[in-house]
Amino acid sequence: MNASPTNASPTHIAIELNGTQHTVPAGITVVAALSLWANGVTRVSVLGEPRAAFCGMGICQECRVTVNGQRRLACQTVCLPGMVVHTTTPTKPGHSA
């Protein structure tokens, strides 16, 4: 029996990364999407250095981003259609998110 096209899962979905719409493969994590569209950078350190995922399993916290207004670990979050993702930057010298 052939699957109906209406039951097919999408192969790609649209998400927003730092204010720009992007199409990403369905089922990938936010950190994978950031690797595709934002050089993998998730945040900026207190010294202004770009940070990216390190452990990939929820331990190091280097991949923390904001997803739909909530702090999330990008390596532990699967992209969903319409998701809004923001990487973080310091709001003032000496502070990072």
Task: Point out which residues bind ligand FES (CB under 6 A).
Answer: 53-56, 58-63, 73, 75
Nearer to ligand FES, 23 or 60 (CB): 60
Q: Which is nearer to ligand FES, 24 or 73 (CB)?
A: 73
User: Alpha carbon 59 to chain centroid distance?
Assistant: 16
E strand segments, 7-83: 12-17, 20-25, 41-44, 50-52, 64-67, 70-73
- Least gap, CB of 35 to ligand FES (angstroms): 11
Q: Which is nearer to ligand FES, 73 or 83 (CB)?
A: 73
